[in-house]
Amino acid sequence: MNFQELSEMVIVGDHIGAEAWTQKALDSGISAKTIIDDGLIPGMDEVGRRFRENEYYMPDVLISARAMKISMALVRPLLAESGESTRGAVVIGTVQGDLHDIGKNLVGMMLEGAGYDVHDLGVDVSPEDFLKCVEENEAGILCMSALLTTTMPMMETTIKAASEAELRNKVKILVGGAPVSDAFAVRIGADGYAPDAARAVDLVNSIMGG
């Protein structure tokens, strides 16, 4: 099968086509990992590039992500069954006290499209819940989102809690969200900051060596 076709369906956001293509590929014995590596990841990489270069806007990315997610929903169970690994586990959530999730969802979807095993804890996530999830899934990356100046300090609280739980050297902690900046990330001892979803994927790739 031509994997370029699946990539193209993701790029243009053809979720019906992506679902049918993925099912056909699975029926013909193609592995879940090959579908992700050769179809979905190149497609989402291109979406990320277009978003970075202002050729795509948020709605375009969401439409592409929907196509990617439908395909992922078919391959994910097989990936787990066969024990085939993804590019690594990432935990993501919006910090405690904060209910904004549009940007965080976008980052999570893009990371999933890039081949990571994303554990999305949703909104209003306590430091304890973030760290429990990191530990349980041996996640190499923790991504925190905050949209309110009043909830940004929860990022620092979570980082301190990670140190106290002796997890700090086991997980890279990345932060993002509209009021967050590079300088803030440095000040609170985070390992990195990304201003948007595409650059969050670039950052995670660079840390995970991909």
**Residue 44 Cβ, how far from ligand B1M at the closest point, in Å?**
14
- Residue 61 CB, shortest distance to ligand B1M, in Å, is 8
| Pick 98 or 112: Cβ nearer ligand B1M | 98
Q: Helix 102-113 vs helix 58-82: angle between axes, to the nearest 10 degrees?
A: 50
Compute the chain's Rg from CA coordinates. 17
Task: Give 25 or 107: the residue with its C-beta nearer to ligand B1M.
Answer: 107
C-alpha closest to that of 195 among 103, 108, 124:
103
Q: To which H or E segment does residue 201 belong?
A: helix 197-208
Between CA 96 and CA 127 the distance in angstroms is 8
Q: How far is the CB of 16 from ligand B1M (least distance, A)?
A: 25
Nearer to ligand B1M (CB atom), residue 65 or residue 200 = 200
Q: Which is nearer to ligand B1M, 171 or 200 (CB)?
A: 200
Closer of 121 and 143 to ligand B1M (Cβ): 143
H-helix or E-strand containing 184?
A: helix 182-188
**Min dist. Cβ of residue 57 to ligand B1M (A):** 10
CB of 65 to ligand B1M, least distance (A): 11
Asked if residue 173 lies in contact with residue 146, where contact means CB atoms within 8 angstroms, the answer is no
Determine the Cα–Cα distance for residues 92 and 107; give it in Å rounded to an integer.
9
Which positions touch ligand B1M (CB under 6 A)? 58, 97-104, 106-107, 143, 145, 147-150, 174-179, 194, 196-197, 200
